[in-house]
Structure 1
Amino acid sequence: MTSSFPAARPIDRIRSDVQSMHAYAVQDARGFVKLDAMENPFGLPPALQAELGARLGALALNRYPGERGGDLQRALATHAHMPEGFALMLGNGSDELISLLAIACDVPGATVLAPVPGFVMYAMSAKLQGLRFVGVPLTADFELDEAAMLSAIAREKPAIVYLAYPNNPTANLWDDAAIEKIVQAQGEQGGLVVIDEAYQPFAARSYIDRIARHGHVLLMRTLSKFGLAGIRLGYLMGPAALVAQIDKVRPPYNISVLNCECALFALEHAEVFEAQARQIRDERHRLMMGLGRLPGVKAWPSDANMILVRVPDAAKAFEGMKARGILAKNVSKMHELLANCLRLTVGTADENARMLAALEASL
């Protein structure tokens, strides 16, 4: 006897909204000059590679992560000049911290709010956790629309407002007075503000000197742009009582002993990475000068290790650069404000010269 009911399928157990989503896409960079992901283009000097290898080889990989996590927290707090009365929690990259914030703040009707275009994980993590995401468009020149942000906070009463400082993919630092008004408005309605400083090594300003003024502001950073994108290490700082609550939803042992030891090693040799950041900032200036000489190309000022450019035809330029061995990021479909825009990572002097030549030939 055959059933009249349709056969059950395992895929039907997957949420329909998840099925309709697009997965985060990572381009295959094999064989290309990789300038699409805002990575530090410089590796460790050979002597430090050997020293780090010896340290990693001596780790007790048969044991769960232990006390070194506390050592790393203290080292990062010192490195970041964390204020008294604040605490720091670790994440497997900033992505995990953003997900943990969504979990911790998942109360009925909760909303996450951020300027758009911005970092895609703010919206993705909120939606995956079942929270509403509200994006507030930037102005045509990628500045904060202060009035629209304040109106949205009053209307939505969001649990979290994300402010990337500098922003991704626009690479700019927003007006400090506008940020303070947004921070104040969000505090008055009882919500959190997360200042995301992923690109702090390349920026002219940081919010760290202002964070102690507020009891509702968290500061998030990562070692990815510091030069350790491969180890996936992010950290969140804020008032100790607040961080303690968010830390409750963090999985145990979320930071491997390998990640932890690599991060500690890097902080012990911070001067090497600071020199690399200075070199990237110098290359950014030279790259901006070169872009300024290309006809039909508009480049926006950058406080990150990337530059946003508008070209006559983003798809044509992207494919032309790719055919010439240069992998950039076509962000023109991310948001209508980014029409015909490419995001270019700042690389080495040689990589930047090759990228400029490829872009010019592809216009």
Structure 2
Amino acid sequence: MTNSKIQVIRPDIRAMSAYRVAEVPPDFIKLDAMESPYDYPNELKAQLGQILADVPVRLYPHVSHCDLLPLLHQTQGIPETAAVALGNGSDELIEKLTLLVAKPDAKVLAATPSFVMYRVNAELFGMEFVGVPLRDDFTMNLDAMLAAVETHQPALVFIAYPNNPTGGRFAREKVEAIIQAASGLVVVDEAYGAFSSDTFLPQAGAVENLIVLRTMSKIGFAGLRIGYACGAAAVIDELKKIIAPYNMNQLSLAAAAFALNYTPFIAENISKLKAERERMRTALRSYPCVRDFASEANFLTIRVPDAQILFDCLYHHKILIKNLHGTHPLLNQCVRITIGLPEQNQAVLRVIDELYGKQ
């Protein structure tokens, strides 16, 4: 059988590699994807089950009139003047925001390394992606960013705040300078904003070219696939035109609204993870051969003598992390470790001590 019939598929797509989701054996500690390790207590699970049983799944969702939107405003600090668009995860919104500005010769710009889907979506829609390298310590090179904005006049700038996969939060004044300098849209992607010391949400709606992205994935609800974009109505209204009318589902909308009625539970878990993050960083500093980088996310990115050896050793102990080596020159010998439960983090530290304790 020949492959002649698939020649109708775009050659650039056939040349792509699909985003790889790691296979995880059921008995592994999963610390590769920045998911929360905390589950609902049984009494909340029972309440959620009853709520979901009553959801009218026979009907299409009416997103603009769902209970979730006012709850997001009330609990997440979104200004009333900001318009909000919901997405099937912030991934869908990243895709649609890119499509929104996709015209001949339009460009997308981001500091790199950063979230891989910024580049993927730019290329998917025929746009040039301009990556501006971070400094060696993963801080932003503002002069280089401003020069690239001036030279390329990007239609869209993505700034992950805090950044993934490096974990650090860029200096606020640098991000503000980029927003002011850009003639196009600037998306401040706050997927990890719940773990950060700063946010641009209060400015959403007040600055015309600013879009703030948030997600419920990192605060304990990755399986719901709930993301939201906040910004000026003039932009969000245009974005809604290219979002499918029934892109969300009734069960996720109801479950997300239920979750936001228990914000103390969410806040407590976030606080625990931030404390564990700092405990891990303190412990890692006792190993001279390990370099840890500042993080305001729910993960740590570290540089070790050999990333593959550490990955393999942790895997042998049934712990899965993310090996970043080879994904970008600045990530040479780096791994990313999601913050888990205290006992899971301790298991990671035991393996690291076995490898590097005598070095």
Q: Is the 8 A contact 2:156 2:186 kept in 1?
A: yes
Per-residue CA distance 1:311-334 (angstroms, 9 max, x = gap): 000111111111111100001111
Q: Is the 8 A contact 1:326 1:358 kept in 2?
A: no
CA distance in 2, matches of 1:240, 1:125: 24
CA distance in 1, matches of 2:65, 2:326: 40
TM-score w.r.t. structure 1 length? 0.95
Q: Is the 8 A contact 1:113 1:158 kept in 2?
A: yes
CA distance in 1, matches of 2:205, 2:243: 24
The equivalent residue for 2:291 is: 298
The equivalent residue for 2:231 is: 238
The equivalent residue for 2:13 is: 18
The equivalent residue for 1:251 is: 244
Pair 1:293–1:7, CA change in 2 (3 A): closer
Does 1:215 pair with 2:208?
Answer: yes
Code of the residue aligned with 1:293 in structure 2: it is S
The equivalent residue for 1:165 is: 161
The equivalent residue for 1:64 is: 60
The equivalent residue for 2:350 is: 357
How many residues of Structure 1 are paired with residues of Structure 2 in the alignment? 355
CA distance in 2, matches of 1:321, 1:244: 47
The equivalent residue for 2:134 is: 138
Per-residue CA distance 1:296-318 (angstroms, 9 max, x = gap): 11111110100010000011111
Per-residue CA distance 1:108-129 (angstroms, 9 max, x = gap): 2111100000001111111111
Per-residue CA distance 1:264-318 (angstroms, 9 max, x = gap): 0000111101110001011111111121123411111110100010000011111
Runs of 4+ aligned structure 1 residues displaced above 6 Å come to none
CA distance in 1, matches of 2:273, 2:348: 15
SS at match of 2:78: coil
SS at match of 2:150: helix
Please state how far the C-alpha of 1:185 moved relative to its aligned partner: 0.6
* CA-atom RMSD in angstroms: 1.5
Unaligned runs of 5+ in 1: 1-5
The equivalent residue for 2:301 is: 308
The equivalent residue for 1:3 is: none
The equivalent residue for 1:229 is: 222
Code of the residue aligned with 2:131 in structure 1: it is G
SS at match of 2:67: helix
Does 1:9 pair with 2:7?
Answer: no
Q: Is the 8 A contact 1:316 1:362 kept in 2?
A: no
Q: Is the 8 A contact 1:300 1:309 kept in 2?
A: yes
Mean CA deviation greater in 62-71 or 337-346: 62-71
SS at match of 2:242: coil
1:108 paired residue among 89, 104, 107: 104
CA distance in 1, matches of 2:283, 2:123: 40
Does 1:334 pair with 2:330?
Answer: no
Code of the residue aligned with 1:24 in structure 2: it is Y
